[in-house]
Amino acid sequence: MFITLYKQQLRWRITILFSALILVLSGTTLLITHRANIANAETNITANLSITAEVFRQLIESRIQSLKDIARPATSDHAFRQVYSEGHIPTLISAMKNLTARIKNVDSTIMVLVDFDNNIIASTTSLNQHAGQSWQHLLLNAENNDSLEADGVVIINKQPYEIIVTPLLIPDPEAWVLMGFPLDQEFTSTASRITQSNITIFSQQQSDVDVEIHASTFDKTQFDDLISSLNDYQKHINKIWQVSLNRSQYLTSILPLDKLRPLHSHDKQSSNPIRTSQADNNQASIFAAIQGSLTKELAPYQRLNLILAGVFLLGGIVTLLATGLISRSITKPLVGLSRGVAEIGTGNYEVKVTQDRQDEIGDLSKSINKMAGNLKEKEKIRQLLGRSVSTEVAEELLNNDIQVAGEEREVTVLFADLRGFTTLSERLSPSELLAFLNDYFDCLSNVIDQFNGVVDKYIGDEVMAIFGAPVHRDNHAELAVKAALGMQQALIEFRVNNKDIWTFDFETGIGINTDQVVVGNMGSKSRNNYTVIGDGVNLASRLESESKNHPYPIIASQNTVDAAPNFNWQALGSAKIRGKNELVKIYGLDFNKS
């Protein structure tokens, strides 16, 4: 149905094609916009993640600095030294708690004092017996630094802590002071509030399959998805990768927390003692996952896409309607024109296709009307031609299939003359004479047509006919002879049929000659007609005159007899023909005996 409509109706074809074009263009635009928006959002988030990582570092650095600002003066505080030297542990712990309370906004700061063999002297928090192993590498690192300080992330009591190590100076180093803050929910929330990104602190023991999440700004219900996505973190360190959490897409960046700060440049012991010592201690690797929501970033773009889609849909509908209307304005007059042309095709040249338009369709309708007029004119000419030549010849002439330029050709020329015309014209009134001549010529012309001859002209009571031109016939001589016989026969019937009207008797003499003549259109540019000229024509006319001297109504030349020998020709000897120096052999044909 649809395909049929498409194939048969231009209107539908135009509408469908234009709508499809608009659809493809709109779709392509939407797709390009969508992709550009996603690329843009990814670029923004990537840039934001980079900034977030830096802010995250700065936040940790800032808190580390706060710890150092408290720890450093404490390590050279006279009272603190004295308490340490006295060795009164409850007082020492109390002094340490007093110091940790000085850290603003961080309630969970811990402080531990260990000797150079990493034995815990005092701690503000309860620690298990293996706690010292977790920061052993930091002590080694501090020992190898000129500043005798170090910091890093370690897991204490299953909680990651950012720890600083500084020596207790009396005035030489006597012990290690450790201060640290937990990378806990409070920290990730603070970092997230500043950076506007989701932050998760996780670690993985070498022996474990799953990562362990210590703190995250994601809801705990999302932890399973978060863990399974972060399990792949090793493939994506130093890369941005996309993970799906609870139907939202997040771009994720992994920040190794134990690589946050480069080692001091003057450390000569190892290029990376932290990593080495961690490996020795089978220390868990600790990371921060910084995640920016692609879905959130794309939200404004999604709204834009929806608006664009709406605009395109509206545009599509408008295009559909407009195309429909435009195509209808084209096809509707075309239907009218088509009907008009079909009518003209049936031969009704009177039909007018009227389109009051100034455009191409208006021009087309004018052209069709003009064409109908021309066809009407041509038909009129054809009908007029048909009166002097056979319909067949007339058709061929109108179709321009016939060369009418001048050429020499062999044809057979026939002259038929009404004998006793002078007497007849005296007996009949002019109107009667004209009526008789019309009937008489009509009779002869029908026979000439019948044998494919062309009435060249009527000259008074005489008719001149040509056979073999303009349409070539091989047997033009035979056709002419048959036409002559047919004329005589027709005239007998004419006399019988009209004996009540035309009571007088009359005879018709016929001269036939076959010869090379010049055929073609002759006359002025504005007025010309197709005819033949040459001696052969004159001879035919003379032969017709010669028939008066013989008992045969049909006289032919030697050429005609040679060309059409299968008739009962009677040689009449040679005759002196006017205009000819030599005698001409002539032959008579009695139609009653042929």
Partner 1 sequence: MYIHAIKMSESKSNQSMRLKSQLCFLVAILVSAHSIAGDLKISINTQKNQPIESVVVTLERLGGIQQSTSPAPLNIEIKQIDREFVPAVTVIPVGSLVSFPNQDDILHHVYSFSKAKTFDLPLYKGIPNEPIEFDIAGVATLGCNIHDWMSAYVVIVDTPYYQKTNQLGEAQLTNVSAGEYELVLWHPRQKKSYRETITIGDQSTTKKIELRLKPSFRSKRQNSNSNRRYQ
Question: Which residue ranges make up the site for partner 1 (CB under 8 A)?
Answer: 76, 78, 81-82, 84-85, 115-117, 143, 146, 148, 167, 169-174
Q: Which is nearer to partner 1, 82 or 244 (CB)?
A: 82
Of 267 and 590, the one with the shorter C-beta distance to partner 1 is 267
Is 365 within 8 Å of 354 (Cβ atoms)? yes
Nearest-angstrom CA–CA distance, 281 and 391:
120
Contact 104, 80 (CB under 8 A): no
DSSP summary character for residue 260? S
Min dist CB 220 to partner 1, Å, is 45
Specify the residue, 178 or 245, whose C-beta has the smaller distance to partner 1: 178
Q: For residues 150 and 164, is the Cβ–Cβ distance under 8 A?
A: yes
| Shortest spacing between CB 270 and partner 1, in angstroms | 15
Q: How far is the CB of 114 from partner 1 (least distance, A)?
A: 12
Closest to partner 1 by CB, 265 vs 358, is: 265
Q: Where are the beta strands (DSSP E) in 439-481?
A: 454-459, 462-467
Strands in 159-169's sheet, in edge-to-edge order, are 120-123, 110-114, 173-182, 159-169, 150-156
CB of residue 126 vs partner 1: minimum separation in angstroms? 26
Residue 158 sits at φ, ψ, to 5 deg, of 65, 15
CB of 147 to partner 1, least distance (A): 8
Query: Cβ distance 170 to 85 under 8 Å?
Result: yes
Residues with Cβ within 8 Å of 433's Cβ and at least 6 positions away in sequence, in order, are 424, 425
- Of 563, 417, 545, the closest CA to residue 479 belongs to 563
Quote the distance between the C-alpha of residue 219 and its chain's center: 51
Report the nearest approach of partner 1 to the CB of residue 250 (Å): 46
Nearer to partner 1, 269 or 403 (CB): 269
CA angle in degrees (0–180, nearest 5) for 411-416-417: 145
Least Å from the CB of residue 169 to partner 1: 6
Closer to partner 1 at the Cβ: 177 or 512? 177
Q: Whole-number minimum distance, CB 206 to partner 1, in Å? A: 29
In angstroms, how far is CA 427 from the centroid of its own chain? 86
Rounded to the nearest angstrom, the gap between the alpha carbon of residue 483 and the centroid of all alpha carbons in its chain is 68
Rg (CA), the chain: 61
Which residue is listed with tokens 């506007």? 196
CA atoms of 394 and 410, how far apart (whole Å): 21
Taking the complex as a whole, how short is the minimal distance between the CB of residue 278 and partner 1, in angstroms?
Answer: 21
* Residue 149 contacts residue 155 (beta carbons within 8 Å): no
Q: Closest by alpha carbon to 288, among 239, 246, 262, 252?
A: 252
Task: Count how many Cα atoms sit within 13 Å of the Cα of residue 473 in the half-sphere of its side chain.
Answer: 21
By the 8 A CB rule, do 146 and 266 touch? yes
C-beta of 142 vs 418, nearer to partner 1: 142
Query: In the complex with partner 1, which residue's Cβ is closer, 76 or 108?
Result: 76
CA distance 179 to 100: 8
Of residues 78 and 220, the one with the C-beta less far from partner 1: 78
71 vs 215, beta carbon nearer partner 1: 71
> C-beta of 170: minimal distance to partner 1 in Å?
5
The pairing of beta strand 507-523 with beta strand 554-557: parallel
Give the nearer residue to partner 1 in terms of CB position, either 82 or 302. 82
CB of residue 79 to partner 1, shortest distance in Å: 10
State the angle between helix axes of 391-398 and 360-388 in degrees (0 to 180), rounded to the nearest 10: 140
Minimum separation from the CB atom of position 167 to partner 1 (A): 8
User: Looking at beta carbons only, is 30 or 148 nearer to partner 1?
Assistant: 148
Give 69 or 115: the residue with its C-beta nearer to partner 1. 115
Could you tell me the CA-to-CA distances from 252 to 47, 226, 229, 287 in Å, in that order? 12, 11, 10, 12
CB of 175 to partner 1, least distance (A): 9
Report the SS3 class of residue 412. Answer: strand
Residue type, 497: N
